[in-house]
Each structure stands twice: as structure tokens, then as C-alpha cells.
Amino acid sequence: MTGPGFRVLYDERMIQGRLNALADDIARAMAPDLIAIAILKGSFIFAADLIRALHARGLSPHVDFMTLSSYGTATQSSGTVTLLRDAEIDVRGQQVLLLDDILDSGRTLAFASRHLADKGAATVKTCVLLDKYAAKGNALAKADFAAFACPDDFVVGYGMDYAHMYRELPFVAVLDQKGVRD
């Protein structure tokens, strides 16, 4: 399936099937009362769907959010991660599941994991929708759980954007030059 400026990589059915399997894996590996912290903004749809899938498996995650930035309106990371909004929940001594949309360089996951560990989290496990590590092989952090491997392309949809566009797409798509607007 294609659209104006993009090519679908993972459709709705594929995503939901994979999230159910991912929830099974997480339920086996983590305590039922974990804290799920989603990194905004790109992970909000992924996090919501995964948290509901975890609930269906008997987990009762407390939910909070962090806002980090490394892209701005560009299609490549600036290389610097900035904490724009910290999680408010107390993570001291708790098991944390950190949710992010995509593992690319690994800077965001490494930064957020260190930050939560510094705040006293007992454990921090990471979960991403898309893992580019397999395509690049040079990430600074690895995900404990990943829904899909991702080619080294710029992707949008399912919460992920380019310059605040395409978040509403119910699938993950590769953005091509027609989708990049000035």
C-alpha cells in the first residue's frame, strides 16, 4: 500500500498481532505492577495499545510520560538528547518499562535509562516499536523488547511524525521525498 509521500511498512493488522505477542513476552518477564513510562511524543499510540495489551494479560502498569527531543523538525537526529519533561511518578525501587517509538542511534534510550536509574529505579527494561539497530549495527543502547526490525529509512505513522505531520496514520510507513514538505 502506498500513499502521497509514503510506502506502508507495517499495516494495522501486523502491528496489533505483534503487540499482542510482545505483551506476552513482557508479561512473562516483568512483575504485574510495573511502571510504564512512554517517551513522548512519537510513542503515544504504541504505548497506549501496548499498555492495553499488558492489562489484558493481567498486568497493572502505572503509567507516566517523559518528553525528550533529539530530532526537532529534521529527519536525522541532532545527536543531543534534551529532557523537556520528566516523569512525575516516583520510580525508586520500582521495575520500569521504558517505551519508545524507535531505536535508531540509541541515544534517547541510553539517556532515559540512565536518568531513570539515577532516580533510583530498581530495573529499567526498554521496549520499542521499531528497532533500526539490526540495520545499522551501531546503537548506543539495545532494546530489551522490540516489535519490529526497521530498515534504515525515515518512518512515520502510528504516532511518529515528520514536522508534526503523519502521526494519525494507523500504520507505519517509509516517508519518501514527496512526503517531505518545506
Active site residue 104: yes
| Predicted confidence (pLDDT) per residue in 62-82, tens digit | 999 999 987 555 555 557 899
Distance, in Å, from the CA atom of 53 to the CA atom of 10, rounded to the nearest integer, reads: 18
| Predicted confidence (pLDDT) per residue in 77-112, tens digit | 557 899 999 999 999 999 999 999 999 888 999 999
Angle at 9 between CA 100 and CA 124, to 5 degrees: 15
| pLDDT greater than 50 at residue 182 | no
Is the whole model's pTM more than 0.75, yes or no? yes
Catalytic residue among 49, 100, 104, 144: 104
pLDDT, residue 140, reads 78
Which domains, ranges and CATH numbers included, belong to the chain? Answer: 11-151 (3.40.50.2020)
Q: Fill in the amino acid letter for 127.
A: C
Q: Fill in the amino acid letter for 117.
A: A
| Angle between the N-to-C axes of helices 44-56 and 12-29, in degrees from 0 to 180, rounded to the nearest 10 | 60
